[in-house]
């Protein structure tokens, strides 16, 4: 049996989290990891208890939906809420982070960003990551994970 690498394992977690997204425009998931241990996960969606885009539509201002919180921000805020330090951690995201999430990632002390898909990669985000010595790596998602389990799940 082919075993998933750590990078693909954590990226798979982010893709699973993305299935919880309540945004109609893009499903994004993020997993924060420290010492090979998942410390938080997030997906893009509305604030807790708030209306969801899938129920009421997107709330658009200047071409952006302001109803949702991005997956990266949700994961970082989950760490803040539950007292989990992010300094020196890594984040796995299904899509390249926007400029605002880039700034939050840097401020949270996260040192490595892994992403699966390019998505409106902004040059300023690249500049900020580089200036902050944040490593950014593309880790395409392996979609054939079901093959890994086919022989082991049938008893």
Write out the H or E segment, with its range, that includes residue 33.
strand 29-34
Q: What is the CATH number of the domain that holds 53?
A: 3.40.140.10
Is the residue at 150 inside a domain? no
Q: Please report whether residue 62 resides in a domain.
A: yes
Which residues fall in the annotated binding site for Zn(2+)?
70, 98, 101
Structural domain for 26, as ranges: 6-141
| DSSP letter assigned to residue 50 | S
**Could you report the per-residue pLDDT of 64-92, keeping only the tens digit for each?**
889 999 999 999 999 999 999 999 999 99
Instruction: Select the more confidently predicted residue: 7 or 147.
Output: 7
In-domain check, residue 129: yes
Other Cβ atoms closer than 10 A to 50? 12
CA nearest 119: which of 34, 30, 41, 53? 30
Query: Is residue 146 in some structural domain?
Result: no
Which helix (DSSP H) or strand (DSSP E) does residue 42 occupy?
strand 37-43
What secondary structure letter does DSSP report for 93?
A: E
How many domains are there within the chain? 1
Q: What is the pLDDT of residues 89-135, one digit of tens each?
A: 999 999 999 999 999 999 999 999 999 999 999 999 999 999 999 99
In a domain, 91, yes or no: yes
What are the strands of the beta sheet with 90-95, ordered from one edge?
A: 37-43, 29-34, 90-95, 112-117, 135-138
With bands split at pLDDT 50, 70 and 90, how would you rate the model's confidence at 154? very low
Confirm whether pTM is higher than 0.85: yes
Question: What is the rounded radius of gyration, in angstroms, for the C-alpha atoms of the chain?
Answer: 16
Phi, psi of 116 (to 5 degrees): -95, -40
Kindly state the average pLDDT of the residues 39-65.
93
> So what's the pLDDT on residue 152?
43
Domain assignment present for residue 152? The answer is no
The set of catalytic residues is 72
Instruction: Provide the phi-psi class of 49: left if phi over 0, else alpha when psi is between -120 and 50, else beta.
Output: left
In a domain, 134, yes or no: yes
pLDDT at 8 over 60: yes
**Does residue 129 contact residue 154 with C-beta atoms inside 8 Å?**
no
Residue 153 located in a structural domain:
no
pLDDT of 143 higher than 70: no
Write phi, then psi, for 82 (nearest 5 degrees).
-105, 10
| Binding-site sequence positions | 70, 98, 101
The predicted structure's pLDDT at residue 155: 42
């Amino acid at each position: 049996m082919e075993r998933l690498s750590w990078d693909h394992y954590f990226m798979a977690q982010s893709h699973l989290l993305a299935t919880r997204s309540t945004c109609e425009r893009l499903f994004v998931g993020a997993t924060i990891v420290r010492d090979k241990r998942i410390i938080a996960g997030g997906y893009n969606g509305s604030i807790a208890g708030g209306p969801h885009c899938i129920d009421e539509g997107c709330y658009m201002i200047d071409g952006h939906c302001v109803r949702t919180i991005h997956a990266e921000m949700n994961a970082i805020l989950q760490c803040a809420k539950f007292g989990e330090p992010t300094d020196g951690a890594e984040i796995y995201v299904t899509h390249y982070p926007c400029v605002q999430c880039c700034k939050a990632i840097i401020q949270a002390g996260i040192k490595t960003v892994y992403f699966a898909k390019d998505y409106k990669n902004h040059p300023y985000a690249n500049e900020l990551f580089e200036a902050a010595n944040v490593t950014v790596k593309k880790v395409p998602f392996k979609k054939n994970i079901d093959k890994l389990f086919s022989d082991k799940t049938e008893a």
